[in-house]
Amino acid sequence: MNREAVLVTGASGFVGNALMACLEARGRAVLGASRSAGPSGRYRMCPALDERADWSSLVSGTAVVVHAAARVHVMTETAADPLTEFRQVNVRGTLRLAREAAGAGVRRFVFVSSIKVNGEETAPGRPFTAADRPAPVDPYGISKLEAERGLQQVSAESGMEVVIVRPPLVYGPGVGANFRRLMQWVHRGVPLPFGAIRNRRSLVALDNLVDLIDRCIDHPAAAGRVLLVSDGEDLSTPELLRRVGRALGRPARLLPVPATLLSLGGTALGKRDLVRRLCGSLQIDASETRALLGWVPPTGVDDALGRTARHFLMHDAT
């Protein structure tokens, strides 16, 4: 049993909550920090993620910090200056925490970043790798890259080990945003115009992501590395929808609309980014992560989709 103290930020979030459950089940000494106390006051209240935050009481006595808290990417942005807002939380807030952690003697800092640091799309047969030159497009991806670079500087100055994990879209029980919307459409039998799409996209199941993060907490080879993660099975949009349908017990109704028409329709309706994600490719080569850490995703795609669908049917289906 490993009793080295681990602090998880964003503990009440989608990834953080699952990570807490995973670490506790495996006997780790773990403290969750969140802006909300969670059920029955389970989590310690953490300061706002900015350059003035005081993390001293939370990082004291901690050996490893897993930083999962962030201002997340949203499809409908309301901030007048999104990049400034993302930088305030994801860059300045992250680096404030990292510097306080280093000053308190924290051994390792695991940062949950995003594949958006690599970019938004991949060409056929050219998956993203950790060695690729970063090419973020949107404010969220830019802020994550700036945070990564700042953390690497903190590591160089302090000796605190930094591990960076870049996941793609994460799905699992309780998933929200666009993945939940897709499940709603399939469950309701809505005809979906994606039958002719021939893209490939990498995803990562929540169980697989938290298993990898757990491995990153104390694996010697993880120190100083940028690690890409995925399920290892890339799916086209129609294949994903069919498999979601099987998990929900409802056949996906797919119409063979050409991608060019979908792109025109998405632009006209102000949904260009959503259509691009559903029609474009984003593949990840996580073979280096697997080889370096001796890691194999513990959960297959269909099992993960089954768990996601069961939660949806119990809690979200309307």
For residue 295 the two structure tokens come to 């890691």
* Angle at 8 (CA atoms; ends 132, 97), nearest 5 degrees: 70
Show the beta-strand stretches assigned E in 180-304: 203-205, 226-228
- From the candidates 140, 179, 295, 312, which is the catalytic residue? 140
Measured between alpha carbons, how far is residue 315 from residues 18, 125, 177, 309 in Å? 17, 38, 15, 10
- Residues sharing a CB contact under 8 Å with residue 103, sequence separation 6 or more, in sequence order: 158
Q: Tokens representing 98?
A: 């990292």
Q: Which residues of 274-284 are buried (b: 16+ CB within 10 A; e: fewer)?
A: ebbbbbbbbbb
> What tokens appear for 234 in the block?
């890339």
DSSP state at residue 39: G
Going by the DSSP 8-state scheme, the letter that residue 117 receives in this structure is: G
SS3 call for 54:
coil
Give the position of tokens 């259509």: 275
Is 171 an annotated catalytic residue?
no
Q: Answer left, alpha or beta for residue 249, where phi above 0 means left and psi between -120 and 50 means alpha.
A: left
Name residues whose C-beta falls within 8 Å of residue 125's C-beta, 6 or more positions apart in sequence.
none
Beta bridge partners of 203: 169
CA atoms within 13 A on the CB side of 221: 11
Pairing label, strands 6-9, 64-67: parallel
At CA 33, angle to CA 29 and CA 37, rounded to 5? Answer: 115
End-to-end CA distance of the chain: 43
Active site residues: 140
